């Protein structure tokens, strides 16, 4: 027997980024008893972004400030909030879904997964230190800050090449650093990069260290053929070595694509009835605040319909 408290909800939202808070607003306005849980502080990835200038209605806003507004908005509708929870178990395959933390068993008719994704890290010295001060994992968010500057993109996949091309809109020079001689990206994407005069490829090299004072100044590279090191003078480093969804608590209960992102239909319904996924954690072509917020709204409306239908059935 567990002596943990039990709490009951119509919908539990896991994750408190734009998808999570948007879902919370729509679900509580849809009259569902709504809880939002996060394993860290509220706000998700955008709360780490220095500035956001592509969220409609705000030509320039701090990421933290924007997410505070999302949270205040959810507060207005009485969403119950549980930050910094330690999740021990998630059971989705039953009619009443359960999320067990160290001190509580949350039980809910429906669940919205909005746990986001994270860029894979290079794991080199200086990467963490200069995050937000020259190291960025989002060219769309931060590219405009590198007008007439020199930047390096690390990786050889579609993301790296496409983001490098995007960065040439602002930067005067973009290096693409890749660990092999051959790129992984689609040929058409490679061709566009080869034809771009602002892009220079440094192949068979891997990054060793990021150096600077207040902001990034140097990317130290290792030539993988000769083992020699060289200093590359850059103002920014954009690692694009793949993204991974935050799905470790679901133990393969849901259908996922090859990269692990959760598969949904257009209603954000996952492979399990009553379980929805929204934002970066799902299989989506664009990972932005606006698309995550939109997913959250759709997921919540689907959950409202599902819970209403469930209540109708149990009435009879
Ligand atoms: P990806 O295809 O997995 O490419 C990651 C790249 O980073 C690879 O070139 C890999 O090198 C390199 N890499 C991995 N770990 C590294 C490390 N520790 N140090 C240095 N380099 C490292 O990831 P992605 O580019 O994010 O794309 C993910 C998926 O989304 C792919 O299926 C991609 O096709 C798709 N995608 C599609 C589009 C599009 O269709 N428009 C756009 C973006 C992404 P190796 O090549 O040597 O393994």
Q: How many CA atoms lie within 13 A of 120 on its CB side?
A: 12
Mean pLDDT computed over 227-253: 95
307 pLDDT higher than 70:
yes
Ligand 1 atom with least separation from CA of 156: 9
20 pLDDT higher than 70:
yes
Compute, in angstroms, the gap from residue 160 CA to the centroid of ligand 1.
7
**Alpha carbon distance 88, 4 (integer Å):** 12
Measured by CA distance, the residue closest to atom 33 of ligand 1 is 158
Rounded to 5°, angle at Cα 290 from 74 and 119: 100
**Alpha carbon distance 152, 199 (integer Å):** 10
Over the stretch 173-208, which tens digit does the pLDDT of each residue have?
999 999 999 999 999 999 999 999 999 999 999 999
Among 176, 182, 127, 130, smallest CA distance to 150 is for: 176
Compute, in angstroms, the gap from residue 268 CA to the centroid of ligand 1.
25
Ligand 1 atom with least separation from CA of 161: 25
242 pLDDT higher than 90:
no
**Alpha carbon distance 103, 7 (integer Å):** 11
Q: What pLDDT is attached to residue 48?
A: 73
Distance, first Cα to last Cα, the chain: 33
Give the CATH fold of the 5-118+243-315 domain. FAD/NAD(P)-binding domain (3.50.50)
Query: Where residue 141 falls among pLDDT bands split at 50, 70, 90?
Result: confident
Mean pLDDT computed over 271-291: 96
Over the stretch 92-112, which tens digit does the pLDDT of each residue have?
999 999 999 999 999 999 999
Q: What pLDDT is attached to residue 117?
A: 93
Q: What pLDDT is attached to residue 313?
A: 87
On whether the CB atoms of residues 301 and 26 are closer than 8 A, the answer is yes
- CATH superfamily for 121-239 is FAD/NAD(P)-binding domain (3.50.50.60)
Share of the chain above pLDDT 70, in %: 99
Ligand 1 and 243: CB distance under 6 A: yes
Q: What pLDDT is attached to residue 2?
A: 67
Q: What pLDDT is attached to residue 239?
A: 97
DSSP for 186-207, please give it: -HHHHHHHHH-TTEEEE-SEEE
Compute, in angstroms, the gap from residue 312 CA to the centroid of ligand 1.
47
Over the stretch 148-182, which tens digit does the pLDDT of each residue have?
999 999 999 988 999 999 999 999 999 999 999 99
**Alpha carbon distance 58, 71 (integer Å):** 16
Q: What pLDDT is attached to residue 314?
A: 79
Measured by CA distance, the residue closest to atom 35 of ligand 1 is 158
Mean pLDDT computed over 6-12: 98
Instruction: Give the burial string for 261-289 (b: 16+ CB within 10 Å, else e).
Output: bbebeeebbbebebbbbbbbbbbbeebbb
Ligand 1 and 158: CB distance under 6 A: yes
Radius of gyration of the chain (CA): 22
Query: Where residue 316 falls among pLDDT bands split at 50, 70, 90?
Result: low
Q: What pTM, to 2 d.p., does this model score?
A: 0.76
By residue count, the chain amounts to 316
Compute, in angstroms, the gap from residue 158 CA to the centroid of ligand 1.
6
On whether the CB atoms of residues 298 and 311 are closer than 8 A, the answer is no
Mean residue pLDDT of the chain comes to 95
On whether the CB atoms of residues 274 and 112 are closer than 8 A, the answer is no
Query: Where residue 1 falls among pLDDT bands split at 50, 70, 90?
Result: low
- Residue 189: active-site member: no
Residue range(s) of every CATH 3.50.50.60 domain in the chain? 5-118+243-315, 121-239
Residue 61, classed as helix, strand or coil, is strand
**Alpha carbon distance 61, 203 (integer Å):** 37
């Amino acid at each position: 027997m567990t002596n943990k408290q039990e709490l009951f909800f119509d919908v539990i939202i896991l994750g408190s980024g734009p998808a999570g808070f948007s879902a919370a607003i729509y679900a509580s306005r849809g009259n569902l008893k709504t809880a939002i849980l996060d394993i860290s502080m509220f706000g998700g990835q955008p709360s780490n972004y220095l500035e956001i200038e592509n969220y409609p209605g705000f030509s320039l806003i701090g990421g933290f400030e924007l997410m505070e507004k999302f949270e205040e908005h959810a507060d207005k509708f009485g969403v119950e909030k549980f930050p910094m929870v330690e999740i021990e178990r998630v059971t989705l395959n039953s009619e009443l879904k359960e999320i067990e933390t160290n001190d509580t068993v949350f039980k809910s008719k429906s669940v919205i997964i909005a746990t986001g994704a994270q860029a894979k890290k290079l794991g080199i010295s200086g990467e963490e230190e200069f995050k937000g001060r020259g190291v960025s994992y989002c060219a769309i968010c931060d590219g405009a800050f590198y007008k007439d500057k020199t930047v390096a993109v690390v990786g050889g996949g579609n993301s790296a090449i496409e983001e490098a091309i995007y960065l040439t809109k602002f930067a005067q020079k973009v290096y693409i650093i890749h660990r092999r001689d051959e790129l992984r990206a689609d040929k058409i994407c490679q061709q566009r990069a080869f034809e771009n005069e602002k892009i220079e490829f440094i192949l068979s090299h891997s990054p060793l260290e990021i150096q600077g004072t207040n902001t990034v100044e140097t990317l130290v590279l290792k030539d993988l053929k000769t083992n020699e090191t060289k200093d590359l003078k850059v103002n920014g480093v954009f690692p694009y070595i793949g993204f991974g969804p935050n799905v470790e608590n679901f133990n393969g209960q849901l259908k996922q694509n090859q990269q692990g992102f959760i598969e949904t239909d257009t209603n954000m319904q996952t492979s399990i009835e009553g379980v929805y996924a929204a934002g970066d954690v799902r299989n989506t072509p664009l990972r932005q605040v606006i698309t995550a917020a939109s997913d959250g709204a759709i997921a919540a409306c689907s959950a409202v319909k599902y819970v209403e239908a469930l209540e109708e059935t149990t009435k009879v």
